[in-house]
Amino acid sequence: MAEVRWAMVVDLRRCIGCHSCSIACKAEHEVPLGVWKTWVKTIEKGGYPSVTTLFLPWMCNHCERPICNTVCPVYAAYRREDGIVLVDPHRCIGCNYCRAACPYDVRYVHPETGMIEKCDFCVHRVDAGLQPACVEACPTGALIFGNIRDPNSRISKVLSKERVTVLKKMFATYPHVFYIGLDMDVADPLMGYEECVSCYEMRPGPTVERLKRSLFPWK
């Protein structure tokens, strides 16, 4: 077992939704317009006077068992010994399969080169002994990056003390971006796309109605 396993903890109790992480990432990686390596999903829930805004910084989860690596036909997607999942730009053929297969929707096609890009935990900074750009930019210290195999690192202490969870656990990818205080509504993909109070308020209607509507759309 490798001695280093990089991971990230996102303390959502501290996140203020300032989008500094997204902007720092854009600047660090020169991400083109229209695509993001990391972004902050924002939803509002409830109605006046009891209303909350929820934030969810979203990035590559650097899975232990990444589906993108499994399905890449040319081994362009690979995982380093220290757990960072990367894309080899000299090998990617741009087939888009990893983008379609990733449950976290973190991969995008670079508009100019046509190759797949995604968050790489700022591997060039990490290898130089620095923290990723988003972590350095976070004004409230909501992002904690470190080696989870080192019991004395800050992230290990946080992980052993706090109640953490991961996104989309059911896909068996064993993601390594942990969230503290994750709300089920902000984690729900359909929230934010439709006006709704809670994810239980906007579930699709009864099947018989849907079936009637799709079978007899002219009625």
Phi, psi torsion values for 134, nearest 5 degrees: -65, -40
Among 12, 23, 35, 101, binds another protein (CB under 8 A): 101
Among 102, 135, 137, 180, binds another protein (CB under 8 A): 102
Residue 174, helix vs strand vs coil = coil
In the shown chain, the binding pattern of residues 108 to 147 toward another protein, with x for contact by CB under 8 A and - for none, equals -x---xxx--------------------------------
Among 46, 93, 127, 165, binds another protein (CB under 8 A): 93
Nearer to another protein (CB atom), residue 33 or residue 208 = 208
Q: How many residues bind another protein (CB under 8 A)?
A: 42
Q: What is the DSSP letter of 65?
A: S
In the shown chain, the binding pattern of residues 57 to 76 toward another protein, with x for contact by CB under 8 A and - for none, equals -x--------x--xxxxxx-
Contacts by residues 27-35 (CB-CB < 8 Å, ≥ 24 positions apart): 27/133, 28/122, 28/125, 28/133, 29/117, 29/122, 29/133, 31/117, 32/110, 32/111, 32/112, 34/111, 35/108, 35/109, 35/110, 35/111, 35/117
Instruction: Assess 204 for contact with another protein (CB under 8 A).
Output: yes
Q: How far is the CB of 197 from another protein (least distance, A)?
A: 17
CA–CA dist 193, 202 (Å, integer): 11
Nearer to another protein (CB atom), residue 92 or residue 143 = 92
Q: How far is the CB of 172 from another protein (least distance, A)?
A: 8
> Do 76 and 29 contact (CB within 8 A), yes or no?
no
CA–CA dist 51, 175 (Å, integer): 31
Name the segment binding another protein (CB under 8 A); options: 9-17, 42-50, 137-145, 188-196.
188-196
Residue 98 token pair:
């990893």
Q: How far is the CB of 17 from another protein (least distance, A)?
A: 16
Instruction: Assess 152 for contact with another protein (CB under 8 A).
Output: no
Residue corresponding to tokens 């500094």? 20
Residue 65's nearest CA partner among 173, 190, 149 is 173
Nearer to another protein (CB atom), residue 50 or residue 214 = 214
In the shown chain, the binding pattern of residues 30 to 59 toward another protein, with x for contact by CB under 8 A and - for none, equals -----------x----------------x-
